[in-house]
């Protein structure tokens, strides 16, 4: 038997529904490696999403489409190894779940074996059979509606989804995913009023990104949140300026090596 420890307990899937019932806002940030994940965990975030935004943020791709299951497994394992309290959620990358529920289960199981506690997949009604199979097979699923980056070739680039008739579609898809067993729903770039309507209509929590303040929680890409790059989407608040801080540190290092002030006597042993 595992001995009891005094560590705070891990945020587990049943707490998602409890948080919604209690009106406690949920927090999620992306994380892709063992360097950043424990820092975000120590800040008190509930969930770390090993997002397929890994493709853009870490691997230098211009979209999420080239991301492979192996990329996701490696990143998920690193985040899982480096954390002990957060719920680790891993994205199913493009091409690893759409063809059949069985394919979705096989791909999701690999992410769970790598350390994920839940997986996220994009899309509405067409994904419900996969969501049902995974949920019944013990793999919690988070849905993703609104702007879904893996469909950028069909729907165009990043844009608000859910105006006019699309609002009805999003609501119907949200109900379908909940009924199929999804444990939460990410709403990306959806008008705030539509996000609010979906949030009130569901018993599972909604987690918004560019969807306004009426969702049950918020998610951001960590590097956007921390101000790592010069440009951030308009729906992001820069909570820090890490990119500039890193640039200044590297510049001081370069200068110190050039002017012989590093390494100093405290940094080495003469004999």
Which of these segments, 46-54, 133-141, 156-164, 195-203, binds ligand KIV (CB under 6 A)?
46-54
Q: Is 139 in the site for ligand KIV (CB under 6 A)?
A: no
Which of these segments, 51-59, 73-81, 124-132, 223-231, binds ligand KIV (CB under 6 A)?
51-59
Selected binder of ligand KIV within 31, 48, 53, 86 (CB under 6 A) = 53
> Under DSSP, is residue 137 helix (H, G, I), strand (E, B) or coil?
coil
Closer CB to ligand KIV, 133 or 187, in the complex: 187
Catalytic status, residue 188 = yes
Q: Is 51 in the site for ligand KIV (CB under 6 A)?
A: yes
- In whole angstroms, give the CA distance from residue 141 to residue 236: 25
CB atoms within 10 A of CB 136: 11
With residue 152 as reference, give the H or E element that holds it. Answer: helix 152-155
Judged by CB under 6 A, the chain residues 195 through 254 that form the site for ligand KIV are 209, 219, 221
Nearest CA-CA partner of 73 in 30, 120, 36, 110: 110
User: How would you class 239 by CB atoms within 10 Å of its CB: exposed for 0-12, middle for 13-18, buried for 19 or more?
Assistant: exposed
Selected binder of ligand KIV within 87, 182, 186, 189 (CB under 6 A) = 186
Count residues binding ligand KIV (CB under 6 A).
10
Adjacent-strand bridge partners of 217:
26, 207
Q: Enter the tokens of residue 8.
A: 């705070």
Catalytic residue among 136, 188, 230, 251: 188
Residue ranges in contact with ligand KIV by CB under 6 A: 30, 51-53, 91, 186, 188, 209, 219, 221
- Residues identified as active-site: 188
């Amino acid at each position: 038997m595992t001995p009891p420890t005094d560590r705070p307990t891990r945020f587990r899937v049943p707490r998602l529904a409890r948080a919604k019932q209690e009106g406690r806002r949920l927090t999620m940030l992306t994380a892709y490696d063992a360097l950043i994940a424990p820092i975000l965990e120590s800040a008190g975030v509930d969930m770390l999403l090993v997002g397929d935004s890994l493709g853009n943020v870490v691997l230098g791709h211009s979209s999420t489409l080239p991301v492979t299951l192996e990329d996701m497994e490696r990143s998920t394992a690193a985040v899982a190894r480096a954390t002990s309290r957060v719920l680790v959620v891993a994205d199913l990358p493009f091409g690893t779940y759409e063809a059949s529920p069985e394919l979705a289960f096989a791909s999701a199981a690999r992410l769970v074996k790598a350390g994920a506690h839940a997986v996220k997949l994009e899309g509405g009604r067409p994904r419900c059979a996969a969501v049902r199979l995974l949920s019944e097979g013990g793999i919690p699923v988070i849905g993703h509606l609104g702007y879904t980056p893996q469909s950028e070739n069909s729907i165009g680039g990043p844009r608000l989804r859910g105006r006019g008739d699309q609002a009805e579609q999003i609501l119907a898809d949200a109900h379908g995913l909940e009924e199929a067993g999804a444990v939460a729903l990410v709403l990306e770039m959806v008008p705030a009023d539509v996000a609010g309507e979906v949030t009130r209509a569901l018993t599972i929590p909604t987690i918004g990104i560019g969807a306004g303040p009426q969702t049950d929680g918020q998610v951001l890409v960590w590097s956007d949140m921390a101000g790592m790059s010069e440009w951030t989407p308009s729906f992001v608040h820069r909570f820090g300026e890490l990119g500039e801080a890193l640039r200044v540190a590297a510049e001081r290092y370069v200068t110190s090596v050039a002017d012989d002030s590093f390494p100093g006597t405290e940094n080495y042993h003469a004999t």
